[in-house]
Amino acid sequence: MRQIQFREALREAMNEEMRRDERIFLMGEEVAEYNGAYKVSQGMLEEFGEKRVIDTPIAELGFAGIAVGAAMNGLRPVVEFMTFNFSLVAIDQIINAAAKMLSMSGGQFSCPMVFRGPTGSAGQLGAQHSQAFENWYANCPGLKVVVPSNPYDAKGLLKSAIRDNDVVIFMESEQMYGDKGEVPEEEYLIPIGKAEVKREGTDVTIVSFGKILKVALQAAVELEKEGISAEVIDLRTVRPLDHETIVESVKKTNRLVIVEEAWPLASISSEITYQIQKHAFDYLDAPIHRINTPDVPLGYAPTFVEAFLPNVPKVVAEVKKVLYRG
């Protein structure tokens, strides 16, 4: 099977869906003439023209509102934020308009649209450009939140997101756009709301999503060298959350470690912990451990970035704690 980059998988998903349905269009900063800040939309202006690939001003609130109105009137926008840090400028339109429109209109107006772009830290970008907002958006009814970890999932999930009749927040990572993975040429869809067991194991369950899943998988390899069998689950979607897949894994392994690039309070790991103690408490042989980022803004210095993010040694150490009560 061919291997393509994460950015190419996203581009293929948008191209295929825009060829299939003329109601779909892409808008955002630098998506057209510049081919996208991360070259995700390269060549799309040439194929689809300026009415369907639209450069916007640096005005997230404005163009998010335009997209909401377009969705209410029968179009299917894909809105790219250069980073989800900038989505905070548009959060009124996302939370108070798009997410609530179906409910507040009594089912008369829906907003079939996708807000997509990079989330989390991407190196030395400073505190205002290094934040993970998956749990913020997952807290809001009316939104679905998707965070893929590889090119195959990115394409299949984005196609599903574009076809979905609800508002989908589709969160990527700047540090993954160059990642390569196997992606079939034939069409496929991945259902929103279904996690995947990426690696089978028997001693402990490790749950993660997005770019941090790579840390979880690397940790599983290191643990295997010490005779520890780790099962790794990729959430893929954080709203709706597939806690059933995690429950079934915990029933087998009896231990759980959650790895997430987010501040600890009210995080996705907090919700998973609640769901597992509710549905699989009697199967746990040790307390649930989670690895989040420190509860501080991320500094610019590379030493701060290294200390801030979950990494393989941290995951290995937490797994050993749940195994040996160390």
**DSSP 8-class letter at 78:** E
Is 290 strand, coil or helix?
strand
Q: Distance between CA atoms of 300 and 210, rounded to whole angstroms?
A: 22
> How far is 326 from 318, CA to CA, in rounded Å?
9
CB 14 within 8 A of CB 43: no
Residues 9, 10, 16, 19, CA torsion sign: negative
- What does DSSP say about strands 113-118 and 143-146: parallel, antiparallel, or unpaired? unpaired
Report how far residue 19's alpha carbon sits from residue 160's, in angstroms, rounded to the nearest whole number.
15
The catalytic residue among 129, 172, 231, 260 is 129
Q: Helices 151-163 & 6-20, crossing angle to 10 degrees?
A: 30
- Quick check: is 129 catalytic? yes
Catalytic residue from among 8, 17, 60, 260: 60
- Give phi and psi for 291, each to the nearest 5: -120, 110
Active site residues: 60, 129
